[in-house]
Structure 1
């Protein structure tokens, strides 16, 4: 059983404004340097290094070394889920006078964004609705599944779910498919290995591109045609 002390430690780490800003920035799935994260958090590089060391030691961040550079990313999808849940809770508990709109105010973020390694916003929810309506996926509470017809559908558009669930030839322990309550839409989008595979495929095929300095993604002209053809959706 997890001790209350461990829960309190994680809550305290995520509760610091500078560290919260760093965690939220890393929700787009990228790995950033300490200097980049210091700028986001509005602290000095020295202070940022201290924050990052604590987050890494606690297992909330992972560090990748490339040459002389060190890059920081969220340690796991579970950490991303925690950050997204905190964002939802914060919006719910905001003072009544401030509850003007749910989720991000930025229209681009509300339209399409990454939630760690899967798609969120109107795009993520629309994709999920399309898969459910076509019988390619199913959602029951906190669980999700891909049907036999869904496996054939994904293979037909070039998404290899078998590859998405293996790493170095071994089956990944990651959840295969689950619903994630969308922060702005207040309806589920798909997460887990399936959600990550859809997002990765969309980037690889040029259906979407990142918006500089934001978690938002823009749907390209090619993407509009592909989404309409494969999923029957148009934003």
Structure 2
């Protein structure tokens, strides 16, 4: 896919809103995305078809329903990295430039609450992000579970730690054609890196499965449960 074609796909505010919503890692129906972006179902269907044809989204059909999700971790990383790119503030004498809405000037109290919750903890496709995600990255580096000398890498101590937790990585992780074991992902709210890759996904899945974190509503925001707070302190020395 050419850069110009990719830029064209994401230049439309509705298609960009769809991709940002799908960063929660789940499959959405076309109707759900239409309501989220406040567009007509027919308009949503047209935009989704372009995103699927462009390779950013994958779709599956179950009966009358059409579900779409991001095509994979690479697509999620692309969207998150673009979202974190700093857009210079518009000059007072020039029209506003398109970009991320300012968190300081939300459209409503509900929007401000959602943005604040996502800044604290959220999913970035299938791994932890926000202040929680950055805190996890700092903790695993401090404990030698991940090394970051020539790029992030899971250490032997980290593999033993995962085994003690009963967490397994996908068998192809780190192999040719497989997903990287660990990769860094720039966090758009913290402006620092959190951890993705198979390791980051495994930590997020474990946190959700063991109810250390739980979703807030239907979006990407997470909240740490009391059990999760205890687990984070015991396992990684994180106090939130």
TM-score, structure 2 normalization: 0.86
Give per-residue Cα distances to partners, 1:162-214, cap 9 Å, x unaligned: 55839xxx986112211111111111111111111110111111111111132
Task: Report the counterpart of residue 136 of structure 2 in structure 1.
Answer: 127
**Distance (whole Å) between structure 2 residues aligned to residue 189 and residue 164 of structure 1:** 22
The DSSP-based 3-state class of the residue aligned with 1:161 is coil
Contact 2:170/2:198, CA 8 A, preserved across alignment: no
Give the distance between the partners of 2:39 and 2:71, measured in 1 at CA.
Answer: 22
SS of equivalent residue, structure 2 residue 28: coil
2:4 pairs, out of 3, 8, 12, with: 8
Q: Any conservation in 2 of the 1:176–1:194 contact (CA below 8 Å)?
A: yes
Distance 2:165 2:210 in 1: 11
Measured after TM superposition, the shift of residue 96 of structure 1 is 7.2
The residue that corresponds to 1:94 in the other structure is: 89
Superposition map of 1:64-83 within 5 A: 64-83=60-79
- Over 3 Å counting, the alpha-carbon distance change for 1:219 and 1:42 in structure 2 is same
**1:115 lines up with 2:131 in the alignment:** no
Once the two structures are superposed, the pairs formed by residues 32-43 of structure 1 within 5 Å of their partners are 32-43=28-39
Cα root mean square deviation, aligned: 2.3
Structure 1 counterpart of 2:27, from 11, 26, 31? 31
Question: TM-score, normalization: structure 1?
Answer: 0.88
Distance 1:19 1:211, change over 3 A: same
Mapped pair 1:57 → 2:53: yes
Query: 1:112, 1:120 within 8 Å by CA — same for their partners in 2?
Result: yes
Displacement after TM superposition at 1:48 (Å): 0.6
Deviation (angstroms), 1:49? 0.5
User: How many residue pairs align between the two structures?
Assistant: 224
What are the Cα deviations for residues 27-57 of structure 1, in whole angstroms up to 9, with x where unaligned?
A: 1101000001111122110011010011001
Structure 2: 5+ residue runs without aligned partners?
93-100, 105-110
Q: Deviations over 1:40-80 (max 9, x none)?
A: 12211001101001100111100122333221000011111
Equivalent residue number for residue 180 of structure 1: 185
Hey, which bits of structure 1, 4+ residues long, moved more than 6 A? 96-101
State the distance in 2 between where 1:225 and 1:172 align.
37
Please state whether the residue corresponding to 2:123 is helix, strand or coil: strand
Report the CA distance between 1:140 and its aligned residue.
3.9
Unaligned regions of 5+ residues in structure 1, if any? none
Name the SS for the 1:175 alignment partner: coil
Question: 1 CA distance for matches of 2:3 and 2:233?
Answer: 44
Distance 1:161 1:183, change over 3 A: same
Cα separation, 2, equivalents of 1:32 and 1:100: 25
Contact 1:113 1:119 in 2 (8 A): yes
